[in-house]
């Protein structure tokens, strides 16, 4: 079956032969969109189209991906070589499939959530706005990210699929590409700072031809974040903070160079593992954690546990921490959507300003007197 994009390319080629006004594009006279924090993507504007380059779709990626973004009004006027790009996409996009809940806030912030026509694992969607569209059947269930239901996907015919991959070996996404539907890998999750992750809204902005709106939204988030960071500097003390919990016999917690640790640093607290480095989470045994954090003032993100009773039932050793005894444990696991999806996992990357304010409110309650935490709540 000839893909509609190949068919479109053939039609444009024939049109080009007959129309003196059409032009074969030489990629020159470029201007690059300035990015303040993000390193995983680039947007470059040319005279008649733009290119979107994905530099880091997953950790240690050896390949970069390059996409041509052509406004619908320019389609009859230019001819692009398919071999020069990993996909040629008409903008503004009207029908899209995304594969991570972290992509959904960008669609809503830009006001284009109605373009979402499919998602793998719709029960994980927490946003009321998109949740309503799922319940009305306007967002189709596509199965699992590593095994998307291609039959349903081909039926709804999105113009582009925003993929999420940890190593580039997703066979389903390769099948989708071969069907003629472009797949763009989104690597927001591997950026090295909270604001770098949030800046990926500009990635979605260019797809929907809403670059100025994306810039404005990000500038507001950045301003809010930096203002909160500045307020935290007025704290009279720096409470000590423990994070994470055990899975089987291993305690997982953020390393000191992670975005989670950076937010704790910007909240002006004493994260007990702030001096560690590396990729991924730290993996420690209980004795090491207890020795260092038994007197910690505050314990945040105790894995998926939502109550003190659940913590105690899981492991009696948890009750030995001062934070447990003093009821100073906070979690985002209790802030969920109607079908159980955790809101933090959806909105947290897009709104680091809210995450930072939550931590400041918990650790320095006097500094944000009128602020109500958005994600974090005390453990039940």
Which stretch of 6-20, 105-119, 291-305 has the lowest confidence by average pLDDT?
A: 6-20
Cβ-based neighbour number of residue 75 at 10 Å: 18
Tell whether the model's pLDDT for residue 2 goes beyond 70.
Answer: no
Per domain, the residue ranges of the chain are 4-221, 234-378
Give the tens place of pLDDT for each residue, 74-105. Answer: 988 888 888 899 999 999 999 999 999 999 99
What pLDDT, on a 0 to 100 scale, did the predictor assign at position 280?
A: 82
pLDDT band at 125 (very low <50, low <70, confident <90, very high): very high
Residues sharing a CB contact under 8 Å with residue 98, sequence separation 6 or more, in sequence order: 104, 107, 116, 119, 161, 162, 186
In CATH terms, the superfamily for domain 4-221 is Nitrogenase molybdenum iron protein domain (3.40.50.1980)
DSSP conformation class of 372: -
Q: Taking the mean position of all CA atoms in its chain, how far away is CA 167?
A: 17
Q: Where are the alpha helices (DSSP H) in the chain?
A: 4-18, 104-109, 128-135, 150-156, 171-178, 194-198, 201-207, 211-232, 259-266, 286-293, 308-314, 322-325, 343-347, 352-363
What pLDDT, on a 0 to 100 scale, did the predictor assign at position 23?
A: 47
In CATH terms, the superfamily for domain 234-378 is Nitrogenase molybdenum iron protein domain (3.40.50.1980)
pLDDT band at 10 (very low <50, low <70, confident <90, very high): very low
Decide if 4-221 and 234-378 have a common fold: yes
Query: In whole angstroms, how far apart are CA 158 and each of 27, 107, 342?
Result: 28, 15, 26
Q: What percent of the chain has pLDDT over 70?
A: 92
Q: What tokens appear for 268 in the block?
A: 């002006």
């Amino acid at each position: 079956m000839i893909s509609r994009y190949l068919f479109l390319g053939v039609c444009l080629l024939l049109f080009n032969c007959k129309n003196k006004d059409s032009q074969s594009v030489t990629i020159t006279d470029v201007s690059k969109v300035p990015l303040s924090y993000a390193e995983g993507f680039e947007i470059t504007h040319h005279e008649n189209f733009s290119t979107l380059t994905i530099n880091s779709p997953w950790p240690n990626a050896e390949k970069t991906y390059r996409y041509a973004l052509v406004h619908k009004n320019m389609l009859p006027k230019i001819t692009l070589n398919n071999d020069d790009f990993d996909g040629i996409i008409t903008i503004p996009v009207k029908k899209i499939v995304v594969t991570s809940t972290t992509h959904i806030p960008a669609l809503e912030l830009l006001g284009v959530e109605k373009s979402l026509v499919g998602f793998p694992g719709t029960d994980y969607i927490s946003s009321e706005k998109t949740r309503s569209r799922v319940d009305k059947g306007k967002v189709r269930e596509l199965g699992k990210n590593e095994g998307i239901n291609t039959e349903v996907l081909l039926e709804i015919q999105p113009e582009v699929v925003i993929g999420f991959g940890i190593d580039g070996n997703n066979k389903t996404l390769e099948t989708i590409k071969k069907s003629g539907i472009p797949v763009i890998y989104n690597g927001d999750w591997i950026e090295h700072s909270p604001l770098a992750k949030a800046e990926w809204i500009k990635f979605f902005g260019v797809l929907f031809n809403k670059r100025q709106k994306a810039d404005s939204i990000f500038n507001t988030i950045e301003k809010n974040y930096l203002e909160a960071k500045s307020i935290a500097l007025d704290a009279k003390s720096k409470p000590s903070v423990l994070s994470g919990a055990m899975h089987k016999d291993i305690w997982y917690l953020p390393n000191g160079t992670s975005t989670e640790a950076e937010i704790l640093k910007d909240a002006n607290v004493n994260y007990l593992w702030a001096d560690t480095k590396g990729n991924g989470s730290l993996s420690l045994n209980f004795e090491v954690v207890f020795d260092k954090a038994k007197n910690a003032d505050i314990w945040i993100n105790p894995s998926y546990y939502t109550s003190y009773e659940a913590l105690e039932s899981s492991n009696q050793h948890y009750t030995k921490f001062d934070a447990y005894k003093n009821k100073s444990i906070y979690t985002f696991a209790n802030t969920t959507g109607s079908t159980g999806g955790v809101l933090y996992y959806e909105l947290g990357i897009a709104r680091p300003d809210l995450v930072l304010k939550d931590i400041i409110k918990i650790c320095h309650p006097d500094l944000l007197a009128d602020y109500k935490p958005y994600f974090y709540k005390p453990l039940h």
